[in-house]
Amino acid sequence: MSVAPGQALHAEWTKFRTVAGPAWLLAGVIALTVAAGAAADCAAQCSSAACGLDPAKVSFTGVYLGQAVVAVAGVLAVGNEYSTGMVTLSLTAMPGRLTWLFAKAAVLTGPVLIASALAAAGSALAGRLILPGHGFTSAHGYASLTAAADYRAAFGPALYLTLIALLSLGVAAAVRDSAAAIGLVLGAAYLFPLAAAVISNVPVSRHLQQIGPLPAGLDAQTTIGLQNLPLTPWQGLGVVALWAAGALLVGALALKFRDV
Partner 1 sequence: MTPERESFWHLVHAEWTKFRTVRGWVLAVLLTVVAIPAFTFLATDVSGGCTQSSGGHATACPAPPLGPGDEPVSDAFYFAHQAVTGDGTITAQVTSLTGEVPAVPAGQAADGPGGQPWFKAGIIIKENTSQGSAYAAMMVTGAHGVRMQWDYVNDTPGLAGDVSAATPRWLRLVRDGGTITGYDSADGTHWTPAGTAALPGLTSTVQAGLFAAAPPGGDSTTDTGVFRHVGLSWPATGWTGTNVGGTGPNGVPLPGSLRQSGGTITVTGSGDISPAVGNTGSVDSLQRALTGTFFGLIPLIVVAAMSITAEYRRGLIRVSLTAAPRRGRLLAAKVVVIGAVGFAAGLVAATLALAVGTPLLRRISIPLWPASLPTEARMVAGTGTLLAVAAVLALAIGIIVRRSAPAIAAVIVVIFVPYLLALGPLQGANGQAPLWPLQITPAAALSVQQAIPEFYQVIVVYRPNAGFYPLAPWAGLAVECAWAAAALALAYYLLRRRDA
Segment contacting partner 1 by CB under 8 A, of 41-49, 116-124, 125-133, 143-151:
41-49
Binding residues for partner 1 restricted to 132-191, rule: CB under 8 A: 178-183, 186-187, 190-191
Q: Rule CB under 8 A: is residue 193 a binding residue for partner 1?
A: yes
- The rounded distance, in Å, linking the Cα atoms of 104 and 9 is 7
Segment contacting partner 1 by CB under 8 A, of 106-114, 147-155, 199-207, 232-240:
199-207
- The rounded distance, in Å, linking the Cα atoms of 171 and 79 is 10
Please name the residue ranges forming H helices in the chain: 5-17, 20-43, 55-59, 63-84, 86-93, 97-130, 148-175, 178-198, 202-211, 213-219, 233-257
Among 76, 165, 173, 237, binds partner 1 (CB under 8 A): 76
Q: Which of 119, 37, 107, 41 is CA-nearest to residue 78? A: 107
Min. distance of Cβ 161 from partner 1 in angstroms? Answer: 14
Q: What single letter denotes the amino acid at residue 78? A: V
Which lies closer to partner 1 via its Cβ, residue 12 or residue 54?
54
Three-state DSSP state, 125: helix
Q: Rule CB under 8 A: is residue 20 a binding residue for partner 1?
A: no
Which lies closer to partner 1 via its Cβ, residue 194 or residue 260?
194
Q: Rule CB under 8 A: is residue 54 a binding residue for partner 1?
A: yes
Which lies closer to partner 1 via its Cβ, residue 78 or residue 158?
78
Which lies closer to partner 1 via its Cβ, residue 68 or residue 173?
68
- The rounded distance, in Å, linking the Cα atoms of 60 and 56 is 6
Supply angle C-alpha 253, 69, 216, rounded to 5. 70
Among 9, 15, 29, 61, binds partner 1 (CB under 8 A): 61
Which lies closer to partner 1 via its Cβ, residue 166 or residue 218?
218
Q: 260 CB contacts (<8 Å, ≥6 apart)?
A: 87, 88, 91
- The rounded distance, in Å, linking the Cα atoms of 45 and 53 is 9
Min. distance of Cβ 164 from partner 1 in angstroms? Answer: 12
Which lies closer to partner 1 via its Cβ, residue 106 or residue 199?
199
Segment contacting partner 1 by CB under 8 A, of 53-61, 95-103, 111-119, 146-154:
53-61
- The rounded distance, in Å, linking the Cα atoms of 54 and 57 is 5
Which lies closer to partner 1 via its Cβ, residue 11 or residue 72?
72
- The rounded distance, in Å, linking the Cα atoms of 164 and 64 is 12
Residues in the chain: 260
Q: Tell me, by CB under 8 A, how many residues bind partner 1.
A: 48
- Report the interface residues with partner 1, using CB under 8 A: 40, 43-44, 48-54, 57-58, 60-61, 64-65, 68-69, 71-72, 75-76, 79, 83, 178-183, 186-187, 190-191, 193-195, 197-205, 218, 228
